[in-house]
Amino acid sequence: MFFTYLRRELRRRRKAALVISMGLALGIGLVLTVTSVSAGMKNAQSTVLHSLYGLGTDITVTKSAAAGAGGGAQKFGIQQSGSGSKSSSADRLSVNQGTATMASSTVTQVASQSNVEAAVGSLLLNDFKFDGSFKLKSGTSSTSTGTGQGGGQQGGEGGGQGGTPPSGAANFSLNTLTIMGTDTSNITVGPLSSLKITSGVNFTSAQSNSLVAVVDSSYATQKKLKVGSTVTISGKAFKVIGIATASSGTSAANVYIPLTQAQTLADMKNKVTTVYVKASSSQQISAVKTAITKNVSGTTVTTASDLASTVSGSLSTAANLVTSMGKWLSLAVLAAAFLISSLLTSSAVNRRVREFGTLKALGWRSKRVIGQVMGEALVNGLIGGVLGIALGLAGAAAITAFSPTLSASTASSTASQGGPGGGGGPGQAASAAAKAIEVHLTAPVTLSAIAVAVALAVAGGLVAGGFGGWRASRLRPADALRRVE
């Protein structure tokens, strides 16, 4: 009887039912669209952080140098005598200015903290390579001095100052590249975790002190390197065993070599610049940060969530707009949809006063009348939910298809301290931060968002049916029969 009466009433009042359903559909569709855009914003911000800092690491630990210490200008003094053409080259390896090294024992200290699953160290170096050629006359000498500072992400040529006596000539170049000394015992955490080997192989734990290198694909293209080529650093020839590409964005360094070799070349035995930390679970990241800050003094501890607040650009503006205005707008529209549905259901009850009065006179109790009204409203809500999900999916698809490309970068002041993941090196992070990352906004619709839409549809139906049923329950048969519909 209940379903027969329900079907008959919905068919008889299908226009009113459609209006009520559409009101709920608009509210639910907007909520689903805003939720999807919000999820897309979070994914885009994650992409930016991945591009700049990589994945595979929850926390990084770095140490800032005292004012005026670390890095600085690199000076070369080259002198040749005799006659004919002479060539000279020299390397200077150093950490970035403003960055201090830490003892390797810091890695062990960090790894011993509660809820730390793994911790590895790395040493990020800038290699300033001087190459010069001299043409001298017999009995003369030539001296050239060069000064360079800073390290570039992709490597490049920098100038210096050259001086020659009238009887000679000198030409030279100053090339820079970034070198990452990597702990090969665990490449799933740290700078190599965000790299994909596109040619060759990655390091193995047995290569902790081998003359092997993994080269960034962009740098390899620039220098025409391939698997089997050699890269010379401070007079040592490293064999290229792999070409790697960052999952997105810019790689952390041009060349990756075993940590022990990097420490030896830079005369920084048992020193690291960054400790990469992986927590036992995502829920423990905050607790691990607190423990490291408390127990490892003098260090700067950074998490991915800390870096998220530094993202700026059009992506940040859009994300703030969705957060501040989109959610409030969707809530306002949803509240209005619930209110309109309740009023329309109540209005429909008022127009059925005589009908309900007759049913009560025939023996229907108030609970049955309320149940009938709520059943009709619930069906209207479910219909509205289906239509709302369809509208939400259409809106999300339109945003994904036609949304503009957004740009983002991170503040260099934060980046200079290093960040979680592959590009967490202090100076390298600053270099990456100076380059805007472009991402395409998508609006993914998740099952949880659809579940929320269904819940809202049911809630809308119950709210409207509850209000309408309450109005119907207050009717007295005698009063209802005296009224004309």
User: How high is the pLDDT of residue 261?
Assistant: 94
Residue 210 has pLDDT above 60, yes or no: yes
Residue 194 has pLDDT above 70, yes or no: yes
Q: What distance in Å separates the CA atoms of residue 401 and residue 395, rounded to the nearest whole number?
A: 10
Q: What angle do CA 105, 256, 78 make, to 5 degrees?
A: 95
More confident residue, 229 or 364: 229
Residue 258 has pLDDT above 90, yes or no: yes
Lookup result for tokens 């053409």: 85
The least confident of 21-30, 60-69, 71-80, 271-280 is 71-80
CA distances from 138 to 83, 162, 168, 340 (A): 4, 21, 10, 99
Most confident of 57-71, 265-279, 435-449: 265-279
Nearest-CA neighbor of 151 among 68, 65, 92?
A: 92
Residue 177 has pLDDT above 60, yes or no: yes
User: How high is the pLDDT of residue 69?
Assistant: 54
User: How high is the pLDDT of residue 152?
Assistant: 37
More confident residue, 199 or 168: 199
Q: How many residues does the chain have?
A: 485
pLDDT digits (tens, 9 = 90+) for 294-344: 998 888 888 866 665 555 554 455 555 555 555 676 677 777 777 777 777
The least confident of 107-116, 282-291, 471-480 is 471-480
Is residue 255 very low, low, confident or very high in pLDDT (cuts 50, 70, 90)?
very high
Nearest-CA neighbor of 177 among 212, 144, 148, 147?
A: 148
CA distances from 464 to 236, 255, 365, 375 (A): 78, 65, 20, 10
Q: Please give the share of the chain, as a percent, with pLDDT higher than 90.
A: 21
User: How high is the pLDDT of residue 162?
Assistant: 45
Q: What distance in Å separates the CA atoms of residue 337 and residue 327, rounded to the nearest whole number?
A: 15
Is residue 426 very low, low, confident or very high in pLDDT (cuts 50, 70, 90)?
very low
Is residue 221 very low, low, confident or very high in pLDDT (cuts 50, 70, 90)?
very high
For 477-485, what is the mean pLDDT?
A: 57
* Element spanning 339, H or E: helix 327-351
Residue 262 has pLDDT above 90, yes or no: yes
Strands 311-312 and 405-410, how do they pair? antiparallel
Is residue 413 very low, low, confident or very high in pLDDT (cuts 50, 70, 90)?
very low
For 177-185, what is the mean pLDDT?
A: 92
Nearest-CA neighbor of 37 among 479, 389, 453, 442?
A: 442
> Is the pTM value of this prediction over 0.75?
no
Lookup result for tokens 């995502």: 282
Residue type, 252: A
Nearest-CA neighbor of 341 among 16, 92, 112, 98?
A: 16
- DSSP code of residue 338: H
Mean pLDDT of the chain: 74
Question: How distant is the alpha carbon of residue 103 from its chain centre?
Answer: 30
Nearest-CA neighbor of 122 among 248, 310, 263, 301?
A: 263
Both tokens assigned to 62: 């770095």
Contacts of 56 (CB under 8 A, 6+ apart): 188, 189, 190, 193, 194, 276, 278, 421, 422
Q: What distance in Å separates the CA atoms of residue 122 and residue 60, rounded to the nearest whole number?
A: 11
Strands 212-216 and 311-312, how do they pair? unpaired
Contacts of 311 (CB under 8 A, 6+ apart): 45, 48, 49, 319, 408, 409, 410
User: How high is the pLDDT of residue 240?
Assistant: 96
Burial class (CB in 10 A: 0-12, 13-18, 19+), 173: middle
Residue 272 has pLDDT above 90, yes or no: yes
User: How high is the pLDDT of residue 412?
Assistant: 41
Is residue 418 very low, low, confident or very high in pLDDT (cuts 50, 70, 90)?
very low
pLDDT digits (tens, 9 = 90+) for 130-170: 776 666 555 544 444 444 444 333 333 334 444 444 455 56
Contacts of 402 (CB under 8 A, 6+ apart): none
- For residue 88, the cross-strand partners are 132
Is residue 421 very low, low, confident or very high in pLDDT (cuts 50, 70, 90)?
very low
Most confident of 141-150, 190-199, 412-421: 190-199
pLDDT digits (tens, 9 = 90+) for 46-83: 665 555 444 457 788 998 876 555 445 555 555 555 55
For 223-229, what is the mean pLDDT?
A: 93
User: How high is the pLDDT of residue 463?
Assistant: 77
In 73-148, DSSP assigns E strands to: 74-94, 102-103, 116-148
Q: What distance in Å separates the CA atoms of residue 441 and residue 402, rounded to the nearest whole number?
A: 9
Burial 457-468 (b: 16+ CB within 10 A, else e): bebbbbbbbbbb
User: How high is the pLDDT of residue 323?
Assistant: 57
